[in-house]
Structure 1
Amino acid sequence: MRIFKTRAARAITAAVAVGLIATGCASERDSDNESGGAKDTFVFAGAGDPGSLDPALASDGETFRVTRQAFEALLEHEPGGTKLVGGLAETWSSNDAGTVWTFNLRKGVKFHDGEAFNAAAVCANYDHWFNWKGTYQSSAVSYYWQTVMGGFAKNEDPETPEANYKSCTAKDENTAVIEVKKPTANLPGGFSLNALAIHSPKALKEYEKQDATAKGDAITYPKYSQEAGTVAGTGPYKIVKWNKGNKEVTLERFDDYWGEKAKIKNLVFRTIDTEEGRRQALQAGDIDGYDLVAPADVKTLENEGYVVPTRGVFNLFYVGMSQSANPALKKKEVRQAIAQSIDKENLVKTQLPEGGKVADQFMPDTIAGYSKNVTQYPYDPAKAKQLLKKAGAQNLTIEFCYPTEVTRPYMPAPQDLFELMKADLEKSGIKVVPKAMKWAPDYLDATEAGSCALHMLGWTGDFNDGYNFIGTWFAGFDKQWGFRDKKVFDAVNAGSKLGKAEERTAAYQKANEVIMDYLPGVPISSSPPAIAFAKNVNPPKVSPLTQEIFAEASFK
């Protein structure tokens, strides 16, 4: 029996991925000080809009930065770190096989709608996700459920993975037992995902009255997830307004929160989709902080007295290839040619912050499982042309999708990165057809569905295990990549079944070598993203997982 204990008094929580943002209007900000009182609104700007107010329907950091403030999972990560600690569960344990997980829950916790949190609420959530039907079973909608727990009570698509979730039992009011069919490296880390945060059972009943729908690659999300009023979590803030016209989400302190109350009453996230726009808004005093600082702006802001902490390296930027979108990519020589056409060194040197690194596999070198023995694909346009000729693809034309209205921790300026890579590919004789798409939900849905032959994406780790990187993409058939290769799938899954850390690390190293020999896509870089705050702000602890909790923030 393995037992895990949390710190005795946990004030705040965190959960996964990275972020979104917003800002208050001038009248709100002016009212903070009109009588000489303390400011009661904190405004933070990010790079893109959220896709949903229900984190279970999301897979992107823009959404999770907002929902993380309002929803809590069974487990969390310690503020500023990657160590798992208790969230809504004070302590947790598993059987030796890792298939039965017991959670001893916090007492006296309330949901935003006044409902009481208990073991029955935990099981209501897990059973709600397990019984999703229709469009909810799309990997674009239920990505994290499928990643951690597999499929559903009744899969409607043969491509949907087999369900690994077995049951949830409320052993008593404060003890929940979750059982899975097979051990997986995604647990216990998966229990910390904001996508698996716990909602009020009363809210769940309202959710179940509405459906998500799909037309082609376009997903229409249920109404409750697109406007404030129905969703209800247990976090230090509750969501009270989503003004899509002004690209703002407003949250208000939850005074019945079980832990330490938020230090600032109102929290506003505003989307400002350019690096320059975010910097100028901070310098003008219109916002109190922003994420994804342009590399060239870090020193400038520091010299002006702003607080600009840099997170640790815990991400990967890559060019994905969808073999289903363009059959030419089924030929290994074509994939190799694309890899050897991209000048990664130049991208890192000109586009990433100080500390950025060239990637040669699908995890950063800060993760256990990184291998020093993977196949290398150095920049070599002449070799790329030879490979294309060998494949009979000298006249290759390929669509390359890239996102707009967004900046990501691994991808500071998407269009600039795209233009450089487009020029690189054209030097090798590849004709590139650009396709720009709005980040959320268009680009995310299209890439998840495998509609883009080439696309730019990345990953910030959800928790500290190598499988959270390579298992995210290559544990089985994934529409984003559109390939089937048993050798790759078996190598990736081998590590997920091992209990000892050193055995898992060795298995992940071998898997990285197999992946890079097959070459499903091109890993480009890893980088340490910076986040900036106004001079009068005591910022929250910055997280390598980009899981900042804004209830920790205060004004000086």
Structure 2
Amino acid sequence: MEIYACRAKRSYKRSFGLRMLGPALGLLVWIAPVYAQEVLRIPYVADIGTFDPDNGFETGAMSAINNVYEGLVEYEPGSTKIVGLLAQSWEISDDGLTYTFHLVDGVQFHDGTPFNAAAVINSFERRRDRGLIQSYVLANVKDMRAPDDSTVVLTLGHPQPSLLDALSSPWGPKIISPVALAEHDNGDFATTWLNEHAVGTGPFKLAEFKRGQRYLLERNDNYWGDKPFFRQIQISVVPDISQQILQLQAGAIDAVPINYPFAQLTSLPEGVEITAAPSMIPYDLFVKPNSPLDDAGVRKAVLTAINPALWVKDAFGEFASLSKSVYPNVMLDPVNPIRFPTDFEAAKAAIAKHGAVNLVIGLHSAAPSYSRIADLIIAQLALIGVKATAYVLPSGAAYTLKDDPNPPDLLLTIAGPDAAHPDSQAKAFFTKDAPLNFFGRTLPQADAIVDQAGQVTDVKERDALYERAGQMYFDAGIVIPLVDVNDVVVHAKGLKDLGLRPVNPPGNIDFATVRWGP
């Protein structure tokens, strides 16, 4: 029996640092800084589709949702270490089939409903059994019991060493007030109501939801843990990054969480600084079947030209590193990193011998980093005689490429996983039935190794198997890993403890930990 115990409360630092500048200005100096310090103003580039933690894949709004709702466990800020949240400790049976969670006492939902084991079961069953988008997360949980108010027992259909990672995922199961679920269930399991409302246990409450305009979070003064620094989080929808930058410089917002142009990071205006952290943001190229890269000689030549070591600094400066494998570097540190060929003369000769090679690159997003990478790759390919072009795919088109009669030869995308376990990467992007296997390509030998690895609890042995399978996907020309890019937030000077987590989508500041400080 393995026993795990960890902190059940988030720890927050508070520092107000108010100073009186003089008796005559005392009252003014007191009022203005207090308001400024207690209100955090954050822009989103995209609107929130749904606030329902079980029925969507929000990315930009993850920090808002995960500060209103909480799960049993979470990843520690800046780490992939799993720590307790609403569960203060847990045990795993020797056969890996039974997980027993011991819950934190004295927790209430925002509506005053007591938090207990029955509430956990109610929320978990809603996610698993109601046909919601993220039901797959709990698909292997065959039985849920609440022997008492402070204990939850989950029994699995088969051993799943990745379960705790799935529960810790930013998209992992959250606990919703059972009273709110019952009151607003109009035959749809409260999905309509939860699109724009929320009742969780988190350090913030959803106070206002103005679709397409603004969102307001208010500090939960009855929070079971230490209260966060900020009294209020004001979230605006500002799709244009240049407008966000102007607002930051004018002091109208406190941060530009994502998409600040990398080329401008070395010359930031006064009063602005950067917080950067390792992240699971790998840029990969996925290759369609029956492309010119099916020819081994062409593929080797193309790999020589697009070797990210040749352009990573130009694209991202100091804020990216070469991908070592098909898994994010933070997730898995391979014994034998993937290597790109380097003989340019041989690459030129191979293309000349083969004849004209034309490649079309589909960009998953119009974000500046995609076009920057594509431009650099196109220029590199021209050096060996390969003509390449790129275009931005329509919204959502990347997910239907396997049915597209005329797909691009290559898809450039961020292949970020749901959780920090390698299984969440392999079974999201590479295996036969992976939901993000963009071109529907299969490699049964590698898939079998992934299945084997998914049952292994020893991390070293597990990672060796995943690395082997990943090398096979690369060698088969299914995926080409390029670079892992840091999570980079540009913000007003003095904003501290942003709580960035490697698994979270970029720019998701943890409102529970962030504060003003010296």
118 and 387 in structure 1: CA distance in 2 versus 1, 3 angstrom threshold: farther
User: Superposed, which structure 2 residues align to 1:252-401 within 5 Å?
Assistant: 252-273=218-239, 275-292=241-258, 293-301=260-268, 304-323=270-289, 328=291, 331=294, 333=296, 339-340=303-304, 342-372=306-336, 374=338, 376=340, 383=347, 386=350, 398=360, 400-401=362-363
Residue 517 of structure 2 is aligned to residue 544 of structure 1: no
Residues 457-487 of structure 1: CA distance to partner in whole angstroms, max 9, x if unpaired?
Answer: 2244655433343343224422423022211
Residue 2 of structure 2 is aligned to residue 38 of structure 1: no
Q: Is the 8 A contact 2:73 2:84 kept in 1?
A: yes
191 and 245 in structure 1: CA distance in 2 versus 1, 3 angstrom threshold: closer
44 and 76 in structure 1: CA distance in 2 versus 1, 3 angstrom threshold: same
- Residue 244 of structure 1 is matched in structure 2 by 211
**Amino acid aligned to 1:256:** N
- Residue 16 of structure 1 is matched in structure 2 by none
Provide the C-alpha distance between the structure 2 equivalents of 1:455 and 1:60, rounded to a whole number of angstroms: 22
Report SS of the residue matched to 2:461: helix
**Amino acid aligned to 2:160:** T
Q: CA RMSD in A?
A: 3.6
User: Superposed, which structure 2 residues align to 1:59-458 within 5 Å?
Assistant: 59-133=57-131, 136=132, 141-142=133-134, 145-146=135-136, 148-149=137-138, 163-195=139-171, 196-205=173-182, 206=184, 209-210=187-188, 223-226=192-195, 228-229=196-197, 231-246=198-213, 248-273=214-239, 275-292=241-258, 293-301=260-268, 304-323=270-289, 328=291, 331=294, 333=296, 339-340=303-304, 342-372=306-336, 374=338, 376=340, 383=347, 386=350, 398=360, 400-404=362-366, 406=367, 413-422=369-378, 429=386, 432=389, 434-438=391-395, 442=396, 446=400, 453=408, 454-458=410-414
Q: Which structure: larger Rg? A: 2
Provide the C-alpha distance between the structure 2 equivalents of 1:193 and 1:113, rounded to a whole number of angstroms: 25
Report SS of the residue matched to 2:35: coil
Provide the C-alpha distance between the structure 2 equivalents of 1:541 and 1:338, rounded to a whole number of angstroms: 39
Q: CA deviation at 1:542?
A: 3.7
235 and 340 in structure 1: CA distance in 2 versus 1, 3 angstrom threshold: same
Provide the C-alpha distance between the structure 2 equivalents of 1:91 and 1:128, rounded to a whole number of angstroms: 24
- Which of 449, 468, 491 aligns to 1:533? It is 491
Aligned length: 489
Report SS of the residue matched to 2:187: coil
47 and 76 in structure 1: CA distance in 2 versus 1, 3 angstrom threshold: same
Provide the C-alpha distance between the structure 2 equivalents of 1:335 and 1:46, rounded to a whole number of angstroms: 39
- Residue 15 of structure 2 is matched in structure 1 by none
Report SS of the residue matched to 1:61: coil
Residues 52-84 of structure 1: CA distance to partner in whole angstroms, max 9, x if unpaired?
Answer: 212323335313122112111110122333221
Report SS of the residue matched to 2:272: coil
331 and 477 in structure 1: CA distance in 2 versus 1, 3 angstrom threshold: farther
Provide the C-alpha distance between the structure 2 equivalents of 1:414 and 1:467, rounded to a whole number of angstroms: 26
Q: CA deviation at 1:422?
A: 4.9
Provide the C-alpha distance between the structure 1 equivalents of 2:267 and 2:100, rounded to a whole number of angstroms: 50
377 and 36 in structure 1: CA distance in 2 versus 1, 3 angstrom threshold: closer
Provide the C-alpha distance between the structure 1 equivalents of 2:107 and 2:147, rounded to a whole number of angstroms: 18
46 and 175 in structure 1: CA distance in 2 versus 1, 3 angstrom threshold: same
Q: CA deviation at 1:488?
A: 1.6
Q: TM-score, normalised by structure 2?
A: 0.81
Q: Is the 8 A contact 1:42 1:267 kept in 2?
A: yes
**Amino acid aligned to 1:523:** P
Q: Is the 8 A contact 1:240 1:252 kept in 2?
A: yes
376 and 416 in structure 1: CA distance in 2 versus 1, 3 angstrom threshold: closer
Residues 120-154 of structure 1: CA distance to partner in whole angstroms, max 9, x if unpaired?
Answer: 11112222222233xx4xxxx43xx43x44xxxxx
Provide the C-alpha distance between the structure 1 equivalents of 2:277 and 2:333, rounded to a whole number of angstroms: 21
Q: TM-score, normalised by structure 1?
A: 0.76
Residues 355-388 of structure 1: CA distance to partner in whole angstroms, max 9, x if unpaired?
Answer: 5222252124444452426463558697489579
Q: CA deviation at 1:85?
A: 0.9
208 and 516 in structure 1: CA distance in 2 versus 1, 3 angstrom threshold: farther
**Amino acid aligned to 2:10:** R
66 and 455 in structure 1: CA distance in 2 versus 1, 3 angstrom threshold: farther
8 and 551 in structure 1: CA distance in 2 versus 1, 3 angstrom threshold: closer
Q: Is the 8 A contact 2:108 2:224 kept in 1?
A: yes
Q: CA deviation at 1:48?
A: 3.5
- Residue 21 of structure 1 is matched in structure 2 by none
Q: CA deviation at 1:45?
A: 2.8
- Residue 429 of structure 2 is matched in structure 1 by 473
Structure 2, unpaired ranges of 5+: 13-27
Provide the C-alpha distance between the structure 1 equivalents of 2:319 and 2:212, rounded to a whole number of angstroms: 37
Matched-pair identity in %:
23
Q: CA deviation at 1:322?
A: 4.8
Residues 193-222 of structure 1: CA distance to partner in whole angstroms, max 9, x if unpaired?
Answer: 23222222234443673399xxxxxxxxx6
**Amino acid aligned to 1:224:** W
- Residue 5 of structure 1 is matched in structure 2 by 5
Residue 472 of structure 2 is aligned to residue 514 of structure 1: yes
- Residue 482 of structure 1 is matched in structure 2 by 440
**Amino acid aligned to 1:129:** R
- Residue 500 of structure 1 is matched in structure 2 by 458
Report SS of the residue matched to 2:218: strand
Q: CA deviation at 1:5?
A: 0.5
Q: CA deviation at 1:352?
A: 1.0
35 and 528 in structure 1: CA distance in 2 versus 1, 3 angstrom threshold: closer
- Residue 23 of structure 2 is matched in structure 1 by none
Structure 1, unpaired ranges of 5+: 13-30, 150-162, 213-221, 407-411
88 and 378 in structure 1: CA distance in 2 versus 1, 3 angstrom threshold: farther
Q: Is the 8 A contact 1:335 1:521 kept in 2?
A: no
Provide the C-alpha distance between the structure 1 equivalents of 2:468 and 2:56, rounded to a whole number of angstroms: 31
Residues 323-348 of structure 1: CA distance to partner in whole angstroms, max 9, x if unpaired?
Answer: 4xxx5489464766764553523441
Provide the C-alpha distance between the structure 2 equivalents of 1:11 and 1:119, rounded to a whole number of angstroms: 24
Report SS of the residue matched to 1:415: helix
Q: Is the 8 A contact 1:316 1:460 kept in 2?
A: yes
Q: CA deviation at 1:419?
A: 3.8
Q: CA deviation at 1:177?
A: 0.9
Provide the C-alpha distance between the structure 2 equivalents of 1:279 and 1:125, rounded to a whole number of angstroms: 40
Q: Is the 8 A contact 1:375 1:516 kept in 2?
A: no
**Amino acid aligned to 1:106:** V
